[in-house]
Structure 1
Amino acid sequence: SATADRFQAVPFDIDNVFWTHRGERCTFDTMIEEFGLESEALDRLAMIVRAADTATLDLVPQAAGFLAASLGLSRMFRDDLEQLEAGMLLYDAFFRWCRDATEETHNWPGKPS
């Protein structure tokens, strides 16, 4: 919080600040609630993010992959803004899956014709 004060920034995702975990929910949930955002796809994404962020990977099957990708990004970028930019693509891709592609599969071998 002192660092946030020094840079006139908003403290985020740390204990005892407004934008943080609340109960079983993560900061992503807090943002959705506080901004009044509502959609089925966003609720689905929130479940994935919450499971990855709160070590409850059994909540949804996509959580482990989301966590692995997030941790991989943190190892790929030393610059926070570059990591943020790459992370936004990850969130966007998962949102699009939540919105448009949850029923799509890529099973192999395919069904006989």
Structure 2
Amino acid sequence: MGIVPRDPAQYQGRRWATRRHIWIDRIACAWLIQRFIDPHATFLWLADPQACPDDALGFDFDGAAFTHVGQRVSFEVLLASFGLEEDRALARIAAIVHALDVGGDPPAEAAGLEAMLSGLRQTARDDDQLLAEGIPVLSALHRHFSTRPKR
């Protein structure tokens, strides 16, 4: 199954839904959606993904509009779907998310991102707060990779 190219203009002001108790891939996806795809996105955290409302765009669960395809995690699928793979900083973040979500050779920064998000998760009262506090972390990581020379 291939990844279908999508026009971001068709995905504005939408409600996006994923499984509650967000972690690496879902946090990164929500950040990517809000930062690069749909700045006015709202998020719904589902207790049961099968109960995803018809008007919501699902991500990172079986049967969702955007979920794992082949070896790619949901973050990588969103990058490919919306033509964001050429952004080298996003590609670096994708490698981290991939390693933390499904394993593999982790980039050096993976342990640091996992530790920061783990600390936030321990104090966040809910998924909304975890995302709100995780967004600046991922934005800072993107900025860091954007300003570093290619390796």
Code of the aligned partner of 2:59: F
Q: Residue deviations 1:23-61, cap 9 Å, x none? A: 2221110111111112122211211121122233x3311
Q: Secondary structure at the match of 1:50?
A: helix
> Do 1:28 and 1:49's aligned partners in 2 also have CA atoms closer than 8 Å?
yes
> Do 1:53 and 1:67's aligned partners in 2 also have CA atoms closer than 8 Å?
no
Whether 1:4 aligns to 2:52 is yes
Q: Secondary structure at the match of 1:5?
A: coil
> Max radius of gyration: which structure?
1
Q: Secondary structure at the match of 1:22?
A: coil
The range that moved more, 29-38 or 17-26, is 17-26
Q: Secondary structure at the match of 1:10?
A: strand
Distance (whole Å) between structure 2 residues aligned to residue 55 and residue 66 of structure 1 = 15
Identity %: 35
Q: Secondary structure at the match of 2:67?
A: coil
Code of the aligned partner of 2:91: D
Whether 1:88 aligns to 2:88 is no
Whether 1:45 aligns to 2:45 is no
Distance (whole Å) between structure 2 residues aligned to residue 102 and residue 86 of structure 1 = 28
Distance (whole Å) between structure 2 residues aligned to residue 101 and residue 31 of structure 1 = 24
Count matched residues. 101
**Cα RMSD after superposing both structures:** 2.1
Q: 1:54 aligns with which of 102, 116, 125?
A: 102
Gaps of 5+ in 1: 104-113
Gaps of 5+ in 2: 1-48
Distance (whole Å) between structure 1 residues aligned to residue 128 and residue 80 of structure 2 = 25
Distance (whole Å) between structure 2 residues aligned to residue 5 and residue 91 of structure 1 = 28
Per-residue deviation, 1:91: 0.9
Whichever structure has more strand as a proportion of its residues is 2
Distance (whole Å) between structure 1 residues aligned to residue 142 and residue 77 of structure 2 = 17
Q: 2:36 maps to which residue?
A: none
Query: Which of the pair has the greater relative contact order for Cα pairs under 8 Å at 6+ separation?
Result: 2
Whichever structure has more helix as a proportion of its residues is 1
TM-score by length of 1: 0.75
Q: 2:37 maps to which residue?
A: none
> Do 2:57 and 2:65's aligned partners in 1 also have CA atoms closer than 8 Å?
no
